Amino acid sequence: MRLTKMHGLGNSYLFLDGMAGPVPPDEVLPELARAVSDRNFGIGSDGLILVLPPRDREAQFRMRIFNADGSEGEMCGNGIRCLARLVFDRGYTRDTEFVVETKAGAIRPRLHLVDGRVEAVTVDMGVPRLERGAIPMAGPATERAVEVPLRVATGAGSAEEFIVTAVSMGNPHCVVFVDDVDAVDLQRLGPAFEHHPAFPQRVNTHFAQVLGPSRVRVRVWERGSGPTLACGTGACAVAVAGAVTGRTGRQVTVELPGGPLEIRWEEDGHVSMTGPAAYVAEITYDPH
């Protein structure tokens, strides 16, 4: 099986090209994602992404993302930048702006070319939704700040209370503003948030330290993949949370461990994300 490993700021995925031929049936995809993502017995990545022909006439492509644990996410910001570069470089489209169908809806990447080479990708990530005080998320994002106390079991019968802002980018995110991201015990808190009963679909959690009105440092614990170097949908959620809680403006550089993403929450309500997309390797996956 031919796979292409790519990454966006170190958030890496294995791409299975369903434009060039058939992909395995649905029932084997979770196990395939787990197997190829395994950093010891497999190739190693944060998950598996399928590039597929669209079902929706509006779209030129369809993306499915599976996390390293085999669970299927609705969207992937770093992954869709990589998909956009890959389909252009393989000649599946000559357009530099197109629609990709995802479980989170129609997502529009726009390629930035320099001498015909994809230098960066800007993605219209759609309209965020804020939780309404009763997590999980519902209803459109509004300017009103919405912060919710959340008691999180932190092991050995103890619990801590955090103030969180939950934002959906089609996939669920929980943003926790802290004074010092380096002081966050991610290995302990990440799973406690991910599996919190307030999030019946689990949740991607982002600990964010505001450095200024347009700069935030973030550490990520992803639903289904654990600690990653970057999360594109999460960076969008952090920017929206910063704006609605009055901590930042609507244009934010989100500094992730793998590098920065430029996020703008546009006046039309859509969030745009700009960042890189890089190849790592073409791989023949052939376990036996």
Ligand X SMILES: N[C@H](CCC[C@H](N)C(=O)O)C(=O)O
Residue pair 45/5 in contact by the 8 Å Cβ criterion: yes
Count of alpha carbons within 13 Å of 80, Cβ hemisphere only?
33
Residue from 4, 222, 244, 254 in contact with ligand X (CB under 6 A): 222
Choose between 3 and 9: whose C-beta lies nearer to ligand X.
9
Q: Chain-centre distance of CA 59, in angstroms?
A: 20
Per CB under 6 A, does 78 bind ligand X? Answer: yes
Query: Rounded to whole angstroms, how far apart are CA atoms 91 and 139?
Result: 39
Annotation says 174 is catalytic: no
Q: Residue 242, interface with ligand X (CB under 6 A)?
A: no
Does the annotation flag 40 for ligand binding? Answer: no
Per CB under 6 A, contacts with ligand X among 179-218 are 204
d(CA 113, CA 236): 23
Q: Any contact of residue 45 with ligand X (CB under 6 A)?
A: no
Select from 72-80, 91-99, 178-186, 241-249 the region that touches ligand X (CB under 6 A). 72-80
> Nearest approach, Cβ of 276 to ligand X (angstroms)?
12
Q: Is 76 a catalytic residue?
A: yes
Which residue out of 76, 82, 174, 236 is catalytically annotated?
76
- Give me the 11-30 binding string for ligand X, x by CB under 6 A, dash otherwise: x-------------------
CB nearer to ligand X: give 42 or 234: 234
Residues that bind ligand X (CB under 6 A): 11, 67, 73, 76-79, 171, 204, 222-225, 228, 231-233
Residues noted as catalytic:
76, 231
